[in-house]
Amino acid sequence: MGDLLGVAVLGAGHMGADHIRRLDQVVSGARVVAVADPDAARAKEAVAGIEGATAHTEPAAALDAPGVEAVLIASPGPAHQEALLAAFARGLPVLCEKPMVPDSAGALRVLEAEARLGRRLAQIGFMRRYDAEYRRLKSLLDDGRLGRPLMLHCTHRNASAPPDFTSAMLIDSSVSHEIDAARWLLGQELTSVTVLRPRPSSGAPRGLLDPQFVLFETSDGALVDVEVFVNCGFGYQVRCEAVCEAGSARIGDEHGVLVTTRGTAGTRVPQDYLVRFVDAYDREVQAWVDATRRGRVTGPTAWDGYAASVVAEAGVRSLESGARVPVELAPRPGLYAGGGR
Ligand SMILES: NC(=O)c1ccc[n+]([C@@H]2O[C@H](COP(=O)([O-])OP(=O)(O)OC[C@H]3O[C@@H](n4cnc5c(N)ncnc54)[C@H](O)[C@@H]3O)[C@@H](O)[C@H]2O)c1
């Protein structure tokens, strides 16, 4: 057990419980040593059956538990800033679920705190960078075979959203994944955002602006559009098509078994992200554990987390005003020159 990376997990809800299972049963080289959740029963349930793991209601108590060498943050976004700063203060490497910090001022504080340390400690949980299809698309774009990318057409659909999901969350929770994916795929910053609101679906809860159509401009003159529709009814569907000067490439078409019978042909649509992106989450956490055990920090950086928060905040302003909103980033600290991976 001694040479396994001891991990404290903060938050044992949907994602936290899934990551605890992953660290315990899927990923090699790590063990869960402490879990914190203000819901004491949830924390206790999360460590049941994990030898030596302790349950806490206070995040600080979990961080200070014996054997903790790294932290996985899976609490709600508004709790991330405090958790990240507490991890930095202890010199602990962190994998922090997206959004790094939902508000851009808080995200900047985290960025500056890490930059002051002079070394990276945080990897941000933009797991699409670990999805096999996204990685193939990224290497196609990087090797130049298709020429300069001109546009990305993206689709992000959920079967249904939780009842407390707000119109702003379509941007700062759902589209935050496309924000990071577009920056990473294109190697460019997003410079403006315009959100259009079609007549809401009658399948969406009353008052929720669902679907939305989001248009980003980029630093090298490309366009990125995203249809986000979180109560589409039929399943979880994420697609991305890159249109380049010498061709196009598309990922996210259903790739399961195609069944033809009784006059129909079809394949199953996953019902949620935990199913669609299971391999990406596994690879993300394994990569984090492997790098951390080697004393390295790889993957999406605090700069990526900060940029995503600024773009999402501009998107929410555009949703409210209907206007095109420019994205204004603080200067990029030298620590993040050259990006993540
Ligand atoms: N990468 C992805 O695809 C993906 C998907 C879903 C959610 N997320 C992110 O994961 C995080 C958690 O989302 P979720 O869906 O699991 O939410 P959730 O509501 O299911 O779980 C959150 C848990 O955190 C606990 N909590 C609240 N405050 C806390 C604190 N200060 N310290 C520790 N625990 C605290 C809550 O009691 C709850 O058990 C969010 O940042 C969310 O955006 C990422």
Q: Which amino acid is at 313?
A: E
Copy the structure tokens of residue 7.
Answer: 């991990």
> Is 98 a pocket residue for ligand 1 (Cβ < 6 Å)?
yes
Instruction: Measure the CA–CA gap between 280 and 17, rounded to whole angstroms.
Output: 16
Give the per-residue pLDDT at 341: 42
Regarding the beta carbon of 276 and ligand 1, being less than 6 Å apart is answered no
169 Cβ inside 6 Å of ligand 1: no
Q: How far is the CA of 56 from the centre of ligand 1 (A)?
A: 16
- Could you tell me the CA-to-CA distances from 4 to 17, 47, 128, 159, 238 in Å, in that order? 20, 17, 26, 38, 35
Residue 216 Cβ contacting ligand 1 at under 6 Å: no
> Is the CB of residue 161 below 6 angstroms from any atom belonging to ligand 1?
no
Alpha-carbon distances, residue 271 vs 87, 173, 261, 276 (angstroms): 34, 18, 22, 8
CA of residue 248 to ligand 1 center, whole Å: 36
Q: How far is the CA of 10 from the centre of ligand 1 (A)?
A: 9
Tokens of residue 177, six digits: 């994944």
pLDDT at 340: 41
Q: Is 235 in the pocket of ligand 1 (CB under 6 A)?
A: no
Q: What's the pLDDT at 2?
A: 57
State which of 10, 37, 304 you would mutate to test the pocket of ligand 1, scoring each by most atoms of that ligand within 8 A of its C-beta.
37
Q: Tell me the pTM.
A: 0.96
Q: Is 121 a pocket residue for ligand 1 (Cβ < 6 Å)?
A: no
pLDDT in tens, the chain (341 residues): 559 999 999 999 999 999 999 999 999 999 999 999 999 999 999 999 999 999 999 999 999 999 999 999 999 999 999 999 999 999 999 999 999 999 999 999 999 999 999 999 999 999 999 999 999 999 999 999 999 999 999 999 999 999 999 999 999 999 999 999 999 999 999 999 999 999 999 999 999 999 999 999 999 999 999 999 999 999 999 999 999 999 999 999 877 788 999 999 898 899 999 999 999 999 999 999 999 999 999 999 999 999 999 999 999 999 999 999 999 999 999 999 865 44
